[in-house]
Amino acid sequence: MTTASDAAARARLAAINQGPGDIAERNAANTVIAAYGRDPRFPQSGISSSDITRARLANINNLYNTQVAQARPTATPRLPNYGSTGGGGSRRGGGGGGAAPAPTMNQAMLDWIAGLLKGGAPTAQGATNLDLPDYAGRPLAPFDPSMFNQFRESWNQGVQSDLANAQTATSNMLNFLNTNYTNAFNNPNLTYATAGQAPGMTQQAMARYLQGQGVNPSLGAGVAAEQAQGDAGFGSLWRTLAANEDLAQRNRIANAQQYGTQAQQGITAAGRGGELGINLAQGQAQAAWQRAAEERAYQDYQMQQQIAQQEALQSWQRANQVTDANTAATNAYRNSELSALLGLMPQIVAAGGGLNLPSLQSLGLAA
């Protein structure tokens, strides 16, 4: 049964709950609820110990249980050490029926409020760094020398072919010289006429003829000597020409060999020149490829740097945003806490100075 005194107390409590301090408290609680997504004063099974420390949770629960226990007997919120509202005008004597004295703030109330305020402190949000997928890059395919190798192989085949042709030509020449050469002046099939082969009588026949005519056969010796001298002179000429032919043949052979060597050297030099050209072309191509590869690598590096800068910038911005949000939430909380405390000042003063003001630690304003 609700007494008049209880009704009055409820009315007073309701009046108290609509004061500026109550409003600030509710605002703070709403801020906390908005930060957590629920009311931290009423623990639920899904609450994580990382969100609210167990100490804070226990404190809130204790305060809540105290509040519930105090309010339960009359189903009306009862403040700790709540003064009697019965009777009437006993303090002032006489004149009964007057309003009950205003409730005064007690220490338990003040502690409960301080704990509530502390529990409503916003929890700092943490910023997560941005980690974009790494840029894989697209390096150039390795330099492909196969075309140059093919050129080189084909070129060398050509060089070998030309060398073989030149060698064959030289070999044919030497073979021709050695096979077909016959010294015309030293050819057993081609002899020259001598006095012994002259037409008519031989010297012996002439000697016999002279002897038959009764004269000395030596009369023809002078002519025979002339013939012998003529043969000797012609033979000398013949042998000279034969030697000249052999010399010419040796010169031809030497010339053929020399020319063959020169051709070989010339072809070899030209071949090396061509191979050098291929090597130079490959070197230029490799240099061009190297430049392109370096440019590509630099582009990849730039992309990686851009992504890294983007990650850093985004992370930095996010961290600043979180810090700003945390600072704003803390400032709002503290303002509301201060407003709530200032709203309680009349009740605290009315308590007559017997209350211990909450410490900064109990209010969550200092570590």
Partner 1 sequence: MAVTGYAPDIAGYQAQENDLQYRYNTDRATNAYGRFLSQQRGQRTLSDLSLGFNRQLPSYRASWGQRGLMGPNVNSGIMQRAMGNYLGDYARDYGRAQQDATQEAQNYDLQAAQLDAYLNNQMATLEQGKQNEIANAALAIEALRPYLGNLGGVY
Residue with the two structure tokens 């690598």 = 297
97 touches partner 1 by CB under 8 A = no
CA–CA dist 271, 304 (Å, integer): 48
Residue (6 or 162) nearer to partner 1, CB? 162
Residue (7 or 248) nearer to partner 1, CB? 248
Contact with partner 1 (CB under 8 A) among 60, 267, 344, 351:
267
Kindly state the smallest distance separating residue 282's Cβ from partner 1, in Å: 13
Residue (3 or 182) nearer to partner 1, CB? 182
Residue (148 or 333) nearer to partner 1, CB? 148
Contact with partner 1 (CB under 8 A) among 105, 278, 344, 351:
278
Contact with partner 1 (CB under 8 A) among 263, 303, 322, 338:
263
Residue (2 or 157) nearer to partner 1, CB? 157
Name residues contacting partner 1, limited to 206-245 (CB under 8 A).
206, 210, 213-216, 219-220, 222-224, 226-227, 230-231, 234, 237-238, 241, 245
Token readout for 13 is: 């409590």
201 touches partner 1 by CB under 8 A = yes
Q: Which stretch binds partner 1 (CB under 8 A): 98-106, 112-120, 202-210, 292-300?
A: 202-210
Burial 99-126 (b: 16+ CB within 10 A, else e): ebeebbbbebbbbbbbbbbbbbbbbeee
Kindly state the smallest distance separating residue 285's Cβ from partner 1, in Å: 15
Kindly state the smallest distance separating residue 274's Cβ from partner 1, in Å: 5
204 touches partner 1 by CB under 8 A = no
Token readout for 302 is: 């730039």
Q: How many residues bind partner 1 (CB under 8 A)?
A: 75
Residue (253 or 332) nearer to partner 1, CB? 253
Q: Note the residue count of the chain.
A: 367
Long-range Cβ pairs for the range 347-350 (8 Å, 24+): 347/16, 347/104, 347/105, 348/105, 348/110, 350/102, 350/104, 350/105
149 touches partner 1 by CB under 8 A = no
**Sequential DSSP letters for 177-222:** HHHH---GGG-TT-----GGG-SS--HHHHHHHHHHTTS-GGGGHH
CA–CA dist 307, 88 (Å, integer): 79
- Determine which helix (DSSP H) or strand (DSSP E) holds 117, and give its type and residue range: helix 107-119
Q: Which stretch binds partner 1 (CB under 8 A): 69-77, 101-109, 167-175, 305-313?
A: 167-175
Name residues contacting partner 1, limited to 324-363 (CB under 8 A).
none
Contact with partner 1 (CB under 8 A) among 129, 165, 204, 361:
165
Token readout for 200 is: 């008519």
285 touches partner 1 by CB under 8 A = no
283 touches partner 1 by CB under 8 A = no
CA–CA dist 58, 317 (Å, integer): 36
CA–CA dist 245, 247 (Å, integer): 5
